Structure 1
Amino acid sequence: MRVYRDLTEITVPVPSTQHSAPKLQRAVTIGVFDGVHIGHRVLIGRLISEARQQGLTATVITFANHPQSVLNPPSPPLLTTVEERLELLSELGVDETVVLPFTLELSRLTAEQFCREILVGKLACKLLVVGDDFALGYRREGTVARLKELGAQLGFEVIVVSPVTSEGMRVSSSEIRQLLLQGEVERACELLGRSYRIVGNVVKGVGRGRKLGFPTINLKVEPEKLLPRFGVYAGKVSVAQSDKTNFTLRTLRPAQHSFDAAAYIGQRPTFGETEPVVEAYLLDFNGFVPEGTKVALELVAFIRPDQKFDSAAALVDQMSRDVQAVREKLKARA
């Protein structure tokens, strides 16, 4: 998948005469696509299908920052960082992704300006695929109905994809965030269509886990990444085989470098700390994971909430029970 991070990088075929229009060659969809959940996948699947049938390039426009960071800050924590999003879009078969910074200037473009200058002028768009509640342009005046009018004027078709629902509710990134913050990981994963994944580099910890008999790897996580409800989780850890490993769906399937894990996400209240940490105890693993190694933690199930213990001994006793609970949970799902 080709990635553009600036509109100036994109080339449009030059018209054959001064008065002819550019060749329209792209099928486009637009959105944050945070999480690339099952609803997003249906829409993007339609984009790719239509593009293949019509001989177009399947192109996604997404944003380097959440629009809410400009329009109504603060922005919500992200289910997927930009790089994770790009990996998932590539896995789905998207041909190109344009990553735009969402700025005040961009938000003030009218729907007509956006369609004329960017969709047609920069991207040579022939087909726009959107959800039924999609809108763009200043104050969201570019509704589906308005976009169809503009498409008729500017030479592109608009296809509207119906929403995906689950248990009577529309699947959305905001709903998945809420589920994760409540510790409902298994339900969140159903809506994502995969396990919730936290990717980071291994950093040096204080060594407390090793002293307690449960050596852990500590992950440095991007600050914008959503951390779910604090507590203990059953999970899987995949260790990168090289610096260039991308943790796509393909590379996370069972492999030599994948391990069952008891994961902890929280503030370690027993030791009076307040900074959230993400760490994992790899089950039946006696090796060493060097600092700087890229690691992906997949959360499978919530075991228990974070809590403060009266002593380190009480914590160790609970950790032993946690590990057993993790083993049972993962065995049941095997």
Structure 2
Amino acid sequence: MKIFRNVQSLKKIKKKIVLTTGVFDGLHIGHQHLIKKVVKIAKKIKGVSVVLTFDTHPERFFNKKNKIKLIKDFEAKIKRLKILKVDSVLLEKFNRIKNLSAVDFIKKYILSNMNLYCFVTGRDFVFGKNKSGNISLLRKLSKKLKFKLLVVPDIKINNKRVSSTLIRKYLKQGKIKLVEKMLGRQYSITGKVVKGGHIGFKYPTANIKLKYEEIPADGVWAVRVLYKGKNYLGAANIGVAPTLKGEKKPLLEVYIYNFHRNIYGKKIRVVFLEKIREERKFKNYQQLIKRVDKDIKLIQKKYSNA
């Protein structure tokens, strides 16, 4: 899979291009269905499948006070596009195109720089400055400018359209099984381990350094930790650690069962299995330890052989 960082580079591709564009955060089953259509059409015409996406979420430009979190980071998105057998990815900086009108986006940005055969998108696609372009305008432009347009139907679960927005909502509600259905895989976060808390050193925990990832609901979670090809059962706490010193921002702290290696500075992947309970403030440290003992026994009993 090739990665381009300048749209003009696509002029080098002489074959017909089948294109889709979007943030594709999380690459959920709706995204996967759409991208598979792109790849299938490109193969059929012996052309090239291209995904135009962005190095950051566009909403981060417009809502700077409450910046949107990402379901998956950029690196994970690129890996999944490769798995889907996309030929090329055009990674664009959103601020380069944010002021283009809808018509200019199609005519000057896309058609002037590539041999477009077919544009594939979902029914809610909007484009151009202030989201002024929609599917109706895109249909008119496709007829006028002689390129094919395929609008892919929504994928629904429980009569609700699968979307990144809904997945974020379910993450915050702790509805991890619905998240899994919509992603088509287990939800996980990959991050760098930094020195974290030690509850009396009985349960040494590692903080996961987070930047843009969407953190699931506060509370205690059963997790699996993947490190260097092996996976380990663990317990994770998401919250502000109210019984101890208390934090201003939520932390992701993980206790890994039967694990005694120094992994500070290393990347690990945390897979969320189930929310065990809410985070709570205990009267004292001893009560906290007693409850943590109970949580760990519960997780071990349920997931040790899973």
TM-score, scaled to structure 2: 0.92
* C-alpha distance in structure 2 between counterparts of 1:226 and 1:124, whole Å: 37
Which residues in structure 2 correspond to 1:27-38 (within 5 Å)?
Answer: 27-38=18-29
Which residues in structure 2 correspond to 1:246-261 (within 5 Å)?
Answer: 255=229, 257-261=230-234
1:163 Cα shift? Answer: 0.1
Residue 215 of structure 1: SS of its match in structure 2? strand
Aligned to 1:184: 175
CA RMSD across the alignment: 1.9
After superposition, give the CA deviation of every residue in 1:68-108 in whole Å (9 maximum; x if it has no partner). Answer: 223344332111122221122112221211222222x6233
Q: Return the letter of the residue paired with 1:294.
A: K
Residue 243 of structure 2: SS of its match in structure 1? helix
* C-alpha distance in structure 2 between counterparts of 1:158 and 1:71, whole Å: 29
After superposition, give the CA deviation of every residue in 1:198-229 in whole Å (9 maximum; x if it has no partner). Answer: 111111224x23x341122221112x211111
Aligned to 2:39: 48
Aligned to 2:71: 79
Residue 113 of structure 2: SS of its match in structure 1? coil
Aligned to 2:91: 99
- Work out whether 1:160 is the aligned partner of 2:151: yes
Residue 246 of structure 2: SS of its match in structure 1? coil
Instruction: Decide whether the 8 Å contact of 2:238 with 2:252 is kept in 1.
Output: yes
1:114 Cα shift? Answer: 1.0
- Work out whether 1:234 is the aligned partner of 2:222: yes
After superposition, give the CA deviation of every residue in 1:169-209 in whole Å (9 maximum; x if it has no partner). Answer: 11111111111111111221111111111111111224x23
Aligned to 2:290: 317
* C-alpha distance in structure 2 between counterparts of 1:127 and 1:325, whole Å: 53
Pairing partner for 1:203 from 189, 194, 209: 194
* C-alpha distance in structure 1 between counterparts of 2:93 and 2:60, whole Å: 11
Pairing partner for 2:254 from 280, 293, 313: 280
After superposition, give the CA deviation of every residue in 1:267-318 in whole Å (9 maximum; x if it has no partner). Answer: 1111132132212111233x21322111110111111111111122111111
Q: Return the letter of the residue paired with 1:220.
A: K
Pairing partner for 2:131 from 130, 133, 140: 140
- Work out whether 1:265 is the aligned partner of 2:238: yes
Aligned to 1:149: 140
What runs of 5+ residues in structure 1 fail to find an aligned partner? 15-22, 242-254
Q: Return the letter of the residue paired with 2:2.
A: R
* C-alpha distance in structure 2 between counterparts of 1:50 and 1:328, whole Å: 48
Pairing partner for 1:126 from 117, 120, 124: 117
Q: Return the letter of the residue paired with 2:265.
A: G
Residues 309 and 166 (structure 1 numbering): CA distance in 2 closer, same or farther, change over 3 Å?
same
Aligned to 2:263: 290
* C-alpha distance in structure 1 between counterparts of 2:50 and 2:182, whole Å: 24
Which residues in structure 2 correspond to 1:63-74 (within 5 Å)?
Answer: 63-73=54-64, 74=66
What runs of 5+ residues in structure 2 fail to find an aligned partner? none
Indicate the structure with greater strand content. 2
* C-alpha distance in structure 2 between counterparts of 1:49 and 1:122, whole Å: 22
* C-alpha distance in structure 2 between counterparts of 1:186 and 1:13, whole Å: 44
Instruction: Decide whether the 8 Å contact of 1:67 with 1:75 is kept in 2.
Output: no
* C-alpha distance in structure 2 between counterparts of 1:261 and 1:123, whole Å: 49
Residue 44 of structure 2: SS of its match in structure 1? helix
After superposition, give the CA deviation of every residue in 1:216-269 in whole Å (9 maximum; x if it has no partner). Answer: 2221112x2111111111111111x3xxxxxxxxxxxxx5x1111111111111
What is the total number of aligned residue pairs between the two structures?
A: 304
Q: Return the letter of the residue paired with 1:139.
A: N
* C-alpha distance in structure 1 between counterparts of 2:239 and 2:4, whole Å: 36
Identical-pair percentage: 30
Aligned to 1:249: none
Residue 271 of structure 1: SS of its match in structure 2? coil
Instruction: Decide whether the 8 Å contact of 2:15 with 2:48 is kept in 1.
Output: no
Residue 265 of structure 1: SS of its match in structure 2? strand
After superposition, give the CA deviation of every residue in 1:11-30 in whole Å (9 maximum; x if it has no partner). Answer: 4149xxxxxxxx45211111
Instruction: Decide whether the 8 Å contact of 1:233 with 1:302 is kept in 2.
Output: yes
Q: Return the letter of the residue paired with 2:149.
A: V
Instruction: Decide whether the 8 Å contact of 1:108 with 1:138 is kept in 2.
Output: yes
Aligned to 1:7: 7
After superposition, give the CA deviation of every residue in 1:125-169 in whole Å (9 maximum; x if it has no partner). Answer: 211100011121133332223212222333321111000000011
Pairing partner for 1:219 from 208, 218, 222: 208
